[in-house]
Amino acid sequence: MVVLVAITSCQDTHYPGGTISSYIGIFDLRALFKGEMVTIDAEKLAGSSKLAALVVSDHKGRNLPEGLLVVQDTRRLGKLRGISIDLGDAAMNYQPGDSVIIDLLGSQLLREDGILKLKNIKANQVAKVASGRPIRNNVVTSKAILENPEAYESTLVIILKGGFNPIPQAGDVLLGTKVLNDGFANINLVTNEQAEFSQQSPYVLGNYYGIVFNQEDGSGVRTPYLRCRSKEDILMLSSEIELASVLITGFASDVKGSDTNYEYMQFMATEDIDFSKTPYAVVVSNNANASTPTGAPANGWATGGMRTYKFNLTTGMARKGAFFYVGGKYQLINGSASTSLASANWVLNYDYNENNGFDFGNKTSGLLANSGNAFGIAVFKGTTVTKDSKPVDVLYNSGGGALWEGNKGYRITNNDFYDVINPLTMESQPFFKQGTNQLFLKYNTADVGYFVSLGGEYNLTLGRWTVARSQNNVEMSKTSVITEIEHEEATKLVE
């Protein structure tokens, strides 16, 4: 018997099935480094010899590491990657948006000062072939950078809605290392003494364009940090702290069995509230197919009918950092014949099956939609709610149904999910589903008995979410107890 064995090459040609390209992607170039310096030759590049990339460094602001030309590309599998090139004084000759071709042969790839660099590249090995090329906006969370610093090193990113922790005081400037928080995690922002914007006052809230670098401690552990390039990289969003006095922290929208008068919502006060002196309103929207009036809500949260239902909170107390509840009259944790929640702080339990809402909203057996279409929960300070009222806090579950069209829709507020001004384009977007206001909680399987617990961290000093709310679905039974919905992973207040 003759056995024929086919032998094929395993050599990576970068572009399987085609001719070897003269150009290697930065993704593949960075992969050549295994902890020791690599001298780049044709063999290591598997036949390639050049890098075609876009410049993102800008030395006019005097805040980048001296002599580094920073470029990025998406040549390999569409993955954005960057590399820093030690080019000396010649690095200042290039501007963001310059398209360059770099001859790599004879260069060295090594990590220095925590940054993976190409060295031994002369100025005449870099050729500019175009200028003014667009650089795509790369909005990234600080958490993503911290979790994968190698992927973002030497790339241009945008940190949206960044605020400083601790909050800046009068006389503070950007000089030095500041802790920047975007609602996902903390990342260091580094500003040199010679930077043109080093004496600029920090904003309460802003967008920060910058290049990610890594620094390395004595044990080899690398930590990413951000450097803005010039004063134009810092865009103010707010100079004032807006403290939300009530936070939405959870809800039971579909208990086990009938929902009639068993649905409820959980909130947390960020200050002591006596509702008899400082009344509030809670409005829910139900956008199931049968809810009328149909179409985009012309009067927003005040639309009424089967679309929105209003509760007025005019009695009772809520203590700072404590949960309180609003919902149906029965005060049970998971529908009929389940554990009583009567001992919890119910600011209002109300028969929404027999009574219309306060000021608007038809009586209903189902307060919050269970169809997969959207429902929303909004809290307002005061009991007057019109189409122009802006909530204190608001969240949406699911995104289906007619929710926004032109100047018709459900208004949102600035929180961890939504922005009344597009933080990237600065365009007005006051409604849910408008612009970037696309986030919503996920719909759960019907009639299981979930409590949606919203775990996050709200900073009272900064007046913002420093850890955005995340959806934790607590599957309840008829014997569940209150500690299952007021648990350690629930929303926390920090000073």
What gap in Å lies between CA 432 and CA 438, rounded to an integer?
Answer: 7
Q: What pLDDT shows up at residue 372?
A: 77
Q: What pLDDT shows up at residue 11?
A: 41
In the predicted structure, residue 160 carries a pLDDT above the cut 60: yes
β partners of residue 186: 181
Q: What pLDDT shows up at residue 195?
A: 97
- Distances in Å between the alpha carbon of 163 and those of 240, 330, 463? 11, 43, 10
Question: Is 9 within 8 Å of 79 (Cβ atoms)?
Answer: no
Which residue carries 């090459």 as its tokens?
A: 9
Question: Is 368 within 8 Å of 310 (Cβ atoms)?
Answer: no
What gap in Å lies between CA 404 and CA 418, rounded to an integer?
Answer: 14
DSSP string across 119-148 = ES--GGGEEEEES-------B--HHHHHH-
Per-residue model confidence as pLDDT tens digits over 379-415 = 999 999 999 999 999 999 988 778 999 999 999 999 9
Q: Count CB neighbours of 277 within 10 A.
A: 8
Rg for the chain (alpha carbons), in Å?
28
Which residue carries 């070897």 as its tokens?
A: 20
The CATH number of the domain covering residues in 142-238: 2.40.50
In the predicted structure, residue 239 carries a pLDDT above the cut 50: yes
Q: In the predicted model, what is the mean pLDDT of residues 38-42?
A: 94
Q: What pLDDT shows up at residue 19?
A: 63
Per-residue model confidence as pLDDT tens digits over 282-302 = 999 999 888 899 999 999 999
Per-residue model confidence as pLDDT tens digits over 85-110 = 999 999 999 999 999 999 999 999 99
The CATH number of the domain covering residues in 26-130: 2.40.50
Domain spans of the chain? Answer: 26-130, 142-238, 246-494
Per-residue model confidence as pLDDT tens digits over 162-214 = 999 888 888 999 999 999 999 889 999 999 999 999 999 999 889 999 999 99
Do the two domains 26-130 and 142-238 of this chain adopt the same fold? yes
